[in-house]
Each structure stands twice: as C-alpha cells, then as structure tokens.
Structure 1
Amino acid sequence: CLHGLSVAMLELPGALVHMLSGIFEQLVKIYSAAQLSVHLLEFVSSISREPRLYTGFHTRDYRVLFAVAINYIRFHNNQRRRESSLMGTVSVNDAALDQYVLVMAYQVIDAYYLSLSSTLKAEILDHLIVGLLQTNYSRNSLDEVNEVCLDMVLQNYNRSSEEILTTSEVAVKEEFGPVVERSWIQHNSIVTIRAQKEGPLAQIMIRSSSGTTSRVVDLPAEVARKFTERIEQPLGSMPTSPQSELSKPTFGSLPRSISRGRSISRSRRLHSTAAPGAGSSYSEADTLPLDSIARLLRGELVQHGNAIARSLRIFDSTPTVDAHKVSVAYVGPGQTTEREILLNQQGSPAYWNFLHGLGKIKRLARMEGFSAGLDTSGQDTDGRYTIGWRDLIANLVFHVGTLMPAQENRQEQIIRKKAHMGNDYVHIIFNESGRDYDLNTISSHFNFVQIIVTPVDGLVASHEETSSRLHGELPEQGAHEVQLYKVRTQINPEIPFIGPAAEPKVLTLTALPAFVRSIAIHAVIFSQVYTTCKSSETGGEAEYVSLWHARLQIIKRIR
C-alpha cells in the first residue's frame, strides 16, 4: 500500500494532497517492526521532497507528522533498553535496519521543520522539543542525536527555507588582511571574532553542529547603534514576563521557560507527541535531560594552537548538508559489457530528458562545495558538466557516465570513469538494451543497489514524444500512447535494503525522475549505515554518525 502511494503522490498529486492528513493520522498509530518502519519512514521522507503536497498543511498536520517520527525514535530507544539487558550479539542486518530507522526518523523531523514558516515553527516548537526530550535514551544527559536535532531546531527558528538553501555549505573566512582572532566555547557552539588590526571591521562566526552563521560588522558603528537604541528605548517596552520573551526567541537561543530549567508544561500547556490533539501535562522528569543545555555558562576562551587550528579546519570543511553521490549509466540497444557502457557518450532522447528531471545541469569549473570527487579545476578531466540536486538537508551529485569523456584509444579516461562510478554504492541504470541487466556488469566492491529503468514496451521514443511528456503535455489525437517505464531495484544479496521498487513499479516519464531520485537517496543513506555496522568489531552495534553529529563531536573534542 505504501509503495503504491509512493507512485500515486507523483502521478496523481492533486488527488493525494487531500488525503495526506488522514493518511498521517493512521501512520502515527503504527510503530513496531523494523521492516514496516523502513517503508513508512521512506514514504514520509519522499513526501518531504514534494512541497506541493504539504504546503497547505496546518499546525495540527505538522504535529501529527512529527509524532510519526518521534514515536519511532521512542520505540527504537525502548527496544535498545530491552536488548541491553539481554546477553548476545545483534546481526549486522538487524543493527543496520534499526540504525536506518532512527536516521530516517530524525531526517523526517529535519526536512519538515526546516521547510516551515517562522509562524508555524513558533506554534510547534514546544511540542517538538518536549517530544524529543521524552524519547531520550538517557535520563541524566541528552543523547548526542537529540543535541544535534535541538541545535537544528533552535538555530533555524528565524530562518526561512530560502535562506537555508542559499547558505554556503562550508564556512568562509572574509579577507580582512591582518586580523586578531579569538574563539570561545559556549555550550555546544564555538563563537569566533576576527577583527581587523588596522580597520573597523570584524567577522563574527558562530559554529554549531547544524550550521555556521557569519556576520560582518563595523565595530564602532555597531557599538554606537546599540548605545543609541538602549538610551532611546521606552521603559514600558522592556519585557515584563517570560511569555513576552518566549513569543520572540532570539536567534540560536532557547525560550526563556526552557533556559531557566523549568518544566515547559508549567509555562505552556502542550499536546502529547504520541497522541496529537490530546491534552497532557509533563512532570519535571520529562524534561530532566534539558538541564544539560539549560545551564548555559559564559563562554570559555579557546587557547589557539596547532591542534585547535587543525580541528577548526576539519570542522569548517565538514558540510552542513548530507553529501551523496550516485552513478547514472546508459545501456544502449544490444549492449551487455562494462566497456560498451563506459564508452557511451550519447543516449536516447528519453534518457536525456530523464537526466534533466533528476536535477540541474552544473558546470564543473564553477562548482562550489561538494562535487563528488569530480574535477572542478577547469581542466575538464571529468567532463564539462554534471547533474546536481539539492534540498534543505541533502546535496546529491551524479556521476553521469555519458557526461564524462571516454574514447576507445584513451584507456586512462575509461579507468578514471570506472573509478568514479565503481566507488558509488548506488547505480541508476537506464537500460534500453532490450535485455535484462546483470548486477555485476559494472564490477565493484561497492555495488550495493542498482535502480534499473526500462521502457515497458522496449521501444525507444522519439525526441518530440519524450520532450512533450516530460513537460506534461497531452498527446495529439491519434498519437501513440504515453510511454511507460518500469523501475525495479537489484540489490546485493548481503544487503537487507528493500525500498518501494523491490517489486517493479510502472511510471510515466513525468514522475520517473523524482521517484528514482528518492529511492537513490534512501539507498545511499542505508548503504552508509550498513557499511558502518558491518565494519564494527562489536557484532554490528556501531553507531552511524551523520555530518551534523560529526561536527558536534569535533566541538566536544575542542571543549
């Protein structure tokens, strides 16, 4: 059923949009077996990449949606407590599925929260924070995954989704000439001030797990402005109650009721995460883990040295969105060998239109941030262009075989292309060979998941037909029927990943790229989780660490 809805949301979005609230009301009641959890959370995650489906959601709809994710986090931690009391090892596959469910639950929270307007964020803030605190595994301190999620919630309280999308993935230091630089640790953030030695400008950087903010100020002018505001502020305009400050939290700060360590339920009546809409109050124990972030002390000066400088460089180079890479290969009529496929520089019109639907064309020489290892020096070693896609929490770059140079007499080009594609966990195969595609056609140690796209009738459509269908145009009277494409996943036998195309799904070219892209993103995430668990020496019990989590760990090491 969920797999069918994954197709329907792209093929019939107008019909499904009116049903989503009811669907989520049912999903919030389900949180049991890991196998079912995977399908459910992948479905909810896929919807997050289609804003047209949820732009009409109201506060209650979002509370239900967050409850779906929070229930799975709670279920995961409860199961973890039960397993910790039993002797025995956990299989790699079971550990990977459990970890994947947890990762996907937090990603659902991240994706939807960052898409909200400031008004909606204010209306669900307390509800979301209390829900996260109730899921905490430890009752004495915050779990690091919850610390990361709460940092995301608070740091982005006043930021729009457009602002988040245009923010650089990595920190950039302004060219000020000679500067004096000082850094302070304040809880789980690093505040750095870089002031010109012979000028009025200063850059203020705040590094946290979920992002880095930067602002350039004219120090004398800023001091004068603040002083003027202070002496001109009417006495009656000063806040007189916690509620007046709570309505407008400052950037990166906790609401007053939280920062004082009081139970949130005493200052505002909240709704239960597990049963949205039902009134409930919470005891001090429900919010006990918040004490570890509530006691914000004055910043502690960081003593700069080589080790600290190295840690800050690593931190600044760690992106603030998940970076994924996926290969795309075209298999032409009659082709069966790796060499034939790697030598392809052309594809059918349907293939090129499919590529355009996967993402935007990126000029490699002008590409900033994550490039999936492709040459961006301007020498065009890996071609002039690639395809990239970005949303609020993920950056996806494709290794497109037909966009990389490969000549019959240039073996080094074929080797370089194979090196890029062979190191990807996930391959998208646009198969117009007329034959079944073998899992090991392009040999690789990382060949985990292949998403195979095949014309249903085996015919290669003309350029005019595919172009009109991609843009949703209706065929003229007497024209051929709409070309349909079959999507199925081939999976390495060791991998338990399933996804919505384990059984073939049939789509039109209009819906095809988004469906395949969503499967690819989820497959990459699961492959990373699986690799982490498999490499563990403790029987598959390793914890997958996201980029935000890794940034938090760097801050704690500096502290």
Structure 2
Amino acid sequence: MQGLPNQLLDLSFFQSAGPQLTVMRAFFCDMIVNERAAVTVKNIPTTVRKSDIYLTALNILTILLAYRSFFTRQDQDEMLVAFQTGLYRWPSAAKNCIHAFTLALHELPQSMTKLLPGTLLKVSQMMSTAMAVHNLQFLATLARLPSLRVNFTDTDVKRVFVIALQYINTTVDSGANSTPTSPVNLYIVQLAYQVLLAWFVTLKLPERKKYVPFIIHYLLLRSSRQSKDLDENIELVLDLLIYNSFADCWSKPPDTRPLQSGSKPGKLPSRTWVQGNSLLTSQVSSHPGWIDLTIRRPAGVIAFSVRLENRFKATTASMLPLVAPVAFEQLMSSRRAYTIEKGRKESAAQGLRRSDSDGFSRRRHGPVSQSPSARSFIESARPAALARDEQQASLDPSFLLAQFIHYPNLQFEEPSVLLPEDDAITRGVSVLDRTPVIDLHKIGVVYVGPDQTTEAAILNNTHGSRNYGYFLQTIGRFVRLKGCRDIYTGGLDTNDDLDGRHAIYAQDDLSQIIFHTTTLMPTLAHDPACTSKKRHIGNDYVTIVWNESGRDYAFDTIPAQFNFVNIIIEPAASFANVAPVSVVTDKGFDAFQHQFFRVIAKQKQDMPETGPLGEPKLVSGASLGAFVRQNAVQANIFSQIFQNSGNNAESHTSNARERLRQIKRIKERAVAAAVKNGNRAASTEGADGSGAAGGNRNPVVDEREILLDFTRFT
C-alpha cells in the first residue's frame, strides 16, 4: 500500500485501468468510512498502527481525485465523505485530509459545495496549533471561490470568522502586547488576518455591517478591560473593518499625490492631523473652492475632492464648474430617456445605428458638451455609466463619516493632533506614503527543457513548451513594463526594456504579485551565464519550476542566497509530445485544461513544511494556475518570516502592521512637539491659566474653555 500513491502518479500507466480503479476507490472508501482496516488488511506488523493504514488509504484517495473521469458523481461524493471521516477520526491524518479538501475546492467544486458546511464544522472543532496553518490555508483558498459558498448560512460565515479570530487571539495576553516568537506563530497570525480580510471583503457590501459587532465581540474576549491600549492585532482588525464596511473600493487611489504635512512657502496651504490610527491631510486645491482630502490608514489610503458650494465674499467670480458630475447626470438622463423610448417603440430600437447601440443619445448637451474636459469625461464614462447601479451598491453614505472619527479611540475624547511643520514629521509622512498599502510579492518562474540539468542551460531558454505557455496565461496577465508606474515590478526595468518588454502580474484585495519569468527576459550574447536573469531569480524566495527535463529537479540547481522554496510542476504523462510554443489556439488550451500535472514543493532543509505540497499532488490544467499561484504566495510569506525571524521575531511585519506603527510614531512625535511648544492644554496650562503657548490668552475661569477652544488643535 505504501508504494501505491507514487505509482498512481503515472497517469499514462493507469489510463486504461478504469474498472480496476473504480474497484480500488470503492474498497478504500468503505475501509475508511466503516473502519474496516482490521478486517480488510491481514498480517499487520506490530510496528504498524491502524492509523498509519488509514493515512495511506487517504493518500491513495487523494491521488485518485485525478482519475475522477472514471467515477460517477456519487463516487466522487463518497471520496469526500472519506476525507471528512478521516479529518476528525484520526488526528495523524487530519493534515492530509485538509490538504485533500484544499485540492478538491479546485477539482471537485460541485461536490465540495454540498459538503462545505459540514466540513467547516469539523475544521472549527480542530483548532490545535498543529492544524492552524493547514486550516487557514484551506479557508484562504475557499475565500477566493465565492461560487462554492452558495449554501452558506450566517452561522457558517460566523464560524469562519471565529476560526480566524481564535488564531489571532492566541497571541494576545491579558493586559499586555505580546508578539509570538516563532516563525510559524508569526505566519499563523498573518494568515489569520488575511483570511479575515479576504472573507469580509467577499461579502456583499450591505451584509458586512451586520457581522461587525460579532467580530468585535470575539476579538475582545481575551483583551484586558482595564487597559486603555488595544493590542496591535486588535487594532489591525478594527482598521480593516472600518475601512471595508462602507465602500467596495481598492485600497489606494490610482493617482494619489504625496501631500506635505503642512504648508510651505510657495505651496498651497495644507494641514495634517492625527485622528485615532489615521492621518487626515487637507490641502487647498489650485481650483477655487476645492479642497483635496487624503486619509492615510494602516489598511489603505482614501482620497476625496470636496467643493465648497458657498460663494466667497471677497470675489464675485464664479467658482470652477462641477463638470464631471453634471456630465455624468446628463449621460444618465439620456440613458433613461432612451430606455423609455425603447419600451414604447421596439421597432425603432431595432433600427438604432451601430454607433448608438450602447444606449446613449449622440445629441449635444448645451454648454457642457462644449468643454473638452466634459467631452473626454463623457467618452470615458460610457462604460462606467452602464454599471452605475452596481457602483452605487459599492458605496454606503456612512463611508464619509467613518473617515473622520477618532477610531478606535472613541472614548478618550482627545482632539485631533495637528502635525507640526518640521523635517522629522515630514520625513515620517513621506516614509508612510512609500509603504505599500497591500503586501507585495515577487515569484520566480523558470522553464527546464528536455535533458537540461545546469543553471546556464535553463536560464538561456528563450521559450518553453506549449503547455508552459498556457500555464503562464493562467497565473496572471501580461503587462507592458516600459512606462509601468502603478504596478509593483519587483525590480524589473521599466524604462529601457532591459529586463524584457512584458512581465506577468496578478492582484487581489490582499496583494500584488509580479512573476520574474526567465523566458520573458532577454538572453544576451555577451552574457552566457545569464547574470541579468539570475539577478532577479536569485533574489526570489520562491521559484516556480516548469520541469520537462525528464529527470528530478534538484533543489540547488539554481543556487542562491534566497532560494527557499521551489514549486516544481511536471507533466503527469510522457514527455514525448513536448513541442515549442507556436500559435496558441483555443482548442489547444482546452486540451491543456484537461491534462494533469504533478506538483510538489521542495524547501530548505531547516524549514518546516507549511503547505499541501509536501506530498506530490496531481492537478488539472484548469486548476493549475490558481492552485500554484496561491501556494507560491503563501510560501513567499512564510519564507520572508522564516528568513527575518532568526534573530528578531519582529523583523518581518505585514505592510498594514508597519503602517500602523509608523502612524503611531508620527503621533508620538506630534504630541511631544505639542507639549514642548505649549499647544496641549492638558499639559501646558499653569495654575493661573496662562500656558506657555503665549500670554495673549485670557486666564481660564471655566475648565470647559480648554475643551471648547478649537484653535488649539486646528
């Protein structure tokens, strides 16, 4: 039995053994569900435990997922029931079962949809530290597959939040801030935070608010009621909640301008205040009557442009027309008029010109249409206008108020702290602006051709096989490097195409990923060792290796200081049909999706196993891109934690945690400067009411004067 899982990895050998595999599947499912190991397996050595037999049987069923074309839907469901049985019945097999479920989320989505509520209940009952990483990785995968959660109830969603919150709370000591010291514990906290965020933002916007009290309740269960200071983990969760509860938007505006912390000679007036765990910057715009607002939080950056409707007393000139919203409303008015007309005269609608088929009238709209800026807005707004209903559902009126409250310091009644105009504060804000609002990852991708075993031969490849080309299309999208400014490129040249014309890039709510793909980088005649490629690959913690060499890929084939994890992909059948990429056809891509590939991870010897690829998995081409990308990102997170936690457990932090700490440091400096300059009433008022702030203030006769004098913090 022990050798059977490895034998089953050879799909070509068993491709004609459908009847025999069907019998094998039924045998092992029955043995696991009905606990028949003692009856069905004879002459068990005394050194072998029954749980070891069940573990081997479960590993065999995991490989048999790739042979599902031989099985009926009921057969597939029975395999998942066997994994569910092993999850709670044999602790030594629980990890392998959760790995099988993680793979089945991609490979058997319909069967998993029915079993997910029950499986989630079993997961919530197995909350040991040993299962933490595997449980959270399963939930992280499920978060990205919302179509599988159609049968979920409120109880199921809350159960996910409880699992993540319990793992976060394990790092909280009553009344003190405590940080886990081991790399695995640090990884658990970061994974739990990501699971919480990923699940929260996949909820429909109107549904998010109803889960906030529930999350806060469980978040504070182990927090000390006597301490005014919240644990850092709690503050991060609260920040992501208030940031994502009222708007479904990206974590940073595309054209965010770095704002100064205060006004300087020759520049427009600007002020920045600390409010709770956020910085609010208000800058007068160059357009009369407009103010640009920027709110910097640990979870992201929000930008507004606000217009004062009241006319200024000092001038009779009109303020800048509000072109964009007016143009948008006129577009929607014409759209509504067209819809009514279409309902009345269906035949007329059928006779619309092709240029009018988007439902917009081509007539001009008075003065607005004469403005170049209005015309350009109309052109760019047409696609967005068609989806206006969806956009309105992505914004709640409470979103504005949420940006201006002192969250999470609501009970302390502290005024906003105005940042002083000094170099230290300016540098602190500048550092905060340079800290990304989401986590950034760079992952290497190399192609190993037939019989290639050396670093030079592998890095000199300028193309790969057809299937390799299809794989690149499934892990992300191609982006032009030259002139690229809004996308993290991981050090790839964006000026002169020195590292190639294109790269592969992916993004979600949690991260941006750039793939350093060696076949997309130029191979230079004067650089046979490909040092320009090695410069990038050698600095990646994780490398995806597409191996068609016909041999096992050695971990140190491309040695590097940061070579921590190799995720190796190999065709599960023979290598006879390997051919260079030519014309990519839909038919060829369809064939790729139905092929299977052997995927396994190799890591540095001193690294613990933290994912489902410790044992080889057979993955279909249809699932390969998403499955490998997720495992590569998770491996990259742990590799960075593992590398940086050797001497200092806090040396690696997420970007959100780092931004929170930077905002707190800025606040501490601002408060210290205010106390020094006599601007903080509670610290500077003397007994006679004449504080150090200046002798032009009247003596204080009512303590409410201190609270009501808004000039102290504006």
Q: Are the aligned partners of 1:169 and 1:369 in contact in 2 as well (CA < 8 Å)?
A: no
State the shift of 1:490 in Å.
Answer: 0.5
Q: Are the aligned partners of 2:175 and 2:226 in contact in 1 as well (CA < 8 Å)?
A: no
Correspondence for 2:58: none
Q: Are the aligned partners of 2:445 and 2:515 in contact in 1 as well (CA < 8 Å)?
A: yes
- What pairs with 1:438-449 in structure 2 (closer than 5 Å)? 438-449=554-565
Q: Answer with 292-301 or 439-448: which moved more.
A: 292-301
Correspondence for 2:25: none
2:629 counterpart of 1:517: yes
Partner SS state of residue 567, structure 2: strand
Q: 1:128 to 1:342 in 2, by over 3 A?
A: same
Correspondence for 1:546: 654
Residue of structure 1 aligned with 2:491, choices 362, 373, 381: 373
State the shift of 1:38 in Å.
Answer: 1.1
Residue of structure 1 aligned with 2:640, choices 528, 535, 538: 528
Correspondence for 1:314: 431
State the shift of 1:187 in Å.
Answer: 1.4
Correspondence for 1:407: 524
Paired amino acid for 2:206: T
Partner SS state of residue 645, structure 2: helix
Correspondence for 2:278: 189
2:612 counterpart of 1:500: yes
Residue of structure 1 aligned with 2:533, choices 417, 420, 426: 417
Q: Are the aligned partners of 1:170 and 1:369 in contact in 2 as well (CA < 8 Å)?
A: no
Paired amino acid for 1:125: V
State the shift of 1:470 in Å.
Answer: 7.6
Q: Are the aligned partners of 1:187 and 1:296 in contact in 2 as well (CA < 8 Å)?
A: no
Q: How far apart, in 1, do the equivalents of 2:309 and 2:193 lie?
A: 43
Q: 1:469 to 1:389 in 2, by over 3 A?
A: farther
**Cα deviations by residue, 1:257-306 (Å, 9 ceiling, x for unpaired):** x98xxxxxxxxxxxxxxxxxxxxxxxxxxxxxx7x553352211110222
Provide the TM-score with structure 2 as the length reference: 0.62
Q: How far apart, in 1, do the equivalents of 2:620 and 2:196 lie?
A: 30
Q: 1:139 to 1:255 in 2, by over 3 A?
A: farther
Partner SS state of residue 105, structure 1: helix
Q: Are the aligned partners of 2:164 and 2:195 in contact in 1 as well (CA < 8 Å)?
A: yes
Partner SS state of residue 638, structure 2: helix
Correspondence for 1:266: none
Q: 1:255 to 1:30 in 2, by over 3 A?
A: farther
Partner SS state of residue 437, structure 2: coil
Identify the structure with bigger relative contact order (alpha carbons < 8 Å, sequence gap 6+). Answer: 1
Provide the TM-score with structure 1 as the length reference: 0.79
Residue of structure 2 aligned with 1:12, choices 101, 104, 108: 108
Q: 1:373 to 1:330 in 2, by over 3 A?
A: same
Correspondence for 1:356: 473
Q: How far apart, in 2, do the equivalents of 1:214 and 1:66 lie?
A: 29
Q: Answer with 134-143 or 357-366: which moved more.
A: 134-143
Correspondence for 2:184: 97
State the shift of 1:375 in Å.
Answer: 1.0
Q: 1:137 to 1:415 in 2, by over 3 A?
A: farther
Q: How far apart, in 1, do the equivalents of 2:569 and 2:601 lie?
A: 9
Q: 1:142 to 1:356 in 2, by over 3 A?
A: same
2:385 counterpart of 1:297: no
Residue of structure 1 aligned with 2:603, choices 486, 491, 494: 491
Q: Are the aligned partners of 2:124 and 2:163 in contact in 1 as well (CA < 8 Å)?
A: yes
Q: How far apart, in 2, do the equivalents of 1:195 and 1:496 lie?
A: 54
Correspondence for 2:30: none
Residue of structure 2 aligned with 1:60, choices 144, 149, 155: 155
Q: 1:509 to 1:250 in 2, by over 3 A?
A: closer
Q: 1:558 to 1:74 in 2, by over 3 A?
A: closer
Q: Are the aligned partners of 1:157 and 1:252 in contact in 2 as well (CA < 8 Å)?
A: no
Q: How far apart, in 2, do the equivalents of 1:417 and 1:329 lie?
A: 10
Q: Are the aligned partners of 1:320 and 1:548 in contact in 2 as well (CA < 8 Å)?
A: yes
CA RMSD of aligned residues (A): 3.2
Correspondence for 1:41: 136
Correspondence for 1:203: 292
State the shift of 1:56 in Å.
Answer: 5.6
Paired amino acid for 2:268: V
Partner SS state of residue 520, structure 1: helix
State the shift of 1:75 in Å.
Answer: 3.2
Correspondence for 1:284: none
Paired amino acid for 1:15: S
2:452 counterpart of 1:335: yes
Q: How far apart, in 2, do the equivalents of 1:474 and 1:351 lie?
A: 10
Q: 1:124 to 1:466 in 2, by over 3 A?
A: same
Q: How far apart, in 2, do the equivalents of 1:356 and 1:521 lie?
A: 17
Q: How far apart, in 2, do the equivalents of 1:423 and 1:392 lie?
A: 25
Paired amino acid for 2:281: T
Q: Are the aligned partners of 2:174 and 2:223 in contact in 1 as well (CA < 8 Å)?
A: no
- What pairs with 1:105-144 in structure 2 (closer than 5 Å)? 105-136=192-223, 140=227, 141-144=229-232
State the shift of 1:544 in Å.
Answer: 3.7
2:244 counterpart of 1:156: yes
Paired amino acid for 1:490: K
Q: 1:546 to 1:474 in 2, by over 3 A?
A: closer
Q: 1:461 to 1:468 in 2, by over 3 A?
A: farther
Q: 1:221 to 1:117 in 2, by over 3 A?
A: farther
Q: Are the aligned partners of 2:592 and 2:621 in contact in 1 as well (CA < 8 Å)?
A: no
State the shift of 1:30 in Å.
Answer: 1.7
Q: 1:527 to 1:31 in 2, by over 3 A?
A: same
Q: 1:174 to 1:456 in 2, by over 3 A?
A: same
Q: Answer with 443-452 or 458-467: which moved more.
A: 458-467
Q: 1:155 to 1:206 in 2, by over 3 A?
A: same
Partner SS state of residue 435, structure 1: coil
Q: Are the aligned partners of 2:443 and 2:542 in contact in 1 as well (CA < 8 Å)?
A: yes
Correspondence for 1:264: none
Q: How far apart, in 1, do the equivalents of 2:123 and 2:222 lie?
A: 18
Correspondence for 2:393: none
State the shift of 1:251 in Å.
Answer: 3.9
Q: How far apart, in 2, do the equivalents of 1:60 and 1:214 lie?
A: 36
Q: How far apart, in 1, do the equivalents of 2:175 and 2:98 lie?
A: 27
State the shift of 1:110 in Å.
Answer: 1.0
Q: How far apart, in 1, do the equivalents of 2:641 and 2:418 lie?
A: 36
Structure 1, unaligned stretches of length 5 or more? 85-89, 225-246, 260-289, 476-481
Q: 1:198 to 1:425 in 2, by over 3 A?
A: closer
Q: How far apart, in 1, do the equivalents of 2:473 and 2:592 lie?
A: 20
**Cα deviations by residue, 1:72-95 (Å, 9 ceiling, x for unpaired):** 2233446999x99xxxxx9x7xx1
Q: 1:221 to 1:12 in 2, by over 3 A?
A: farther
State the shift of 1:16 in Å.
Answer: 1.1
Q: How far apart, in 1, do the equivalents of 2:539 and 2:658 lie?
A: 22
Partner SS state of residue 347, structure 1: coil
- What pairs with 1:237-248 in structure 2 (closer than 5 Å)? none
State the shift of 1:472 in Å.
Answer: 4.9
Q: How far apart, in 1, do the equivalents of 2:192 and 2:110 lie?
A: 26
Q: How far apart, in 1, do the equivalents of 2:185 and 2:242 lie?
A: 27
Q: How far apart, in 2, do the equivalents of 1:29 and 1:103 lie?
A: 21
Structure 2, unaligned stretches of length 5 or more? 1-96, 314-395, 668-714
State the shift of 1:366 in Å.
Answer: 4.0
Q: Are the aligned partners of 2:117 and 2:151 in contact in 1 as well (CA < 8 Å)?
A: no
**Cα deviations by residue, 1:429-469 (Å, 9 ceiling, x for unpaired):** 00001111111111101111100001112324567999658
Q: Are the aligned partners of 2:258 and 2:433 in contact in 1 as well (CA < 8 Å)?
A: no
Q: Are the aligned partners of 1:155 and 1:251 in contact in 2 as well (CA < 8 Å)?
A: no
Paired amino acid for 1:50: L
Partner SS state of residue 205, structure 1: strand
Paired amino acid for 1:329: V
Partner SS state of residue 493, structure 2: coil
More strand by share: 1
Q: 1:204 to 1:359 in 2, by over 3 A?
A: same
Q: 1:219 to 1:369 in 2, by over 3 A?
A: farther
Q: How far apart, in 2, do the equivalents of 1:60 and 1:472 lie?
A: 39
Q: 1:340 to 1:43 in 2, by over 3 A?
A: same
Partner SS state of residue 199, structure 2: helix
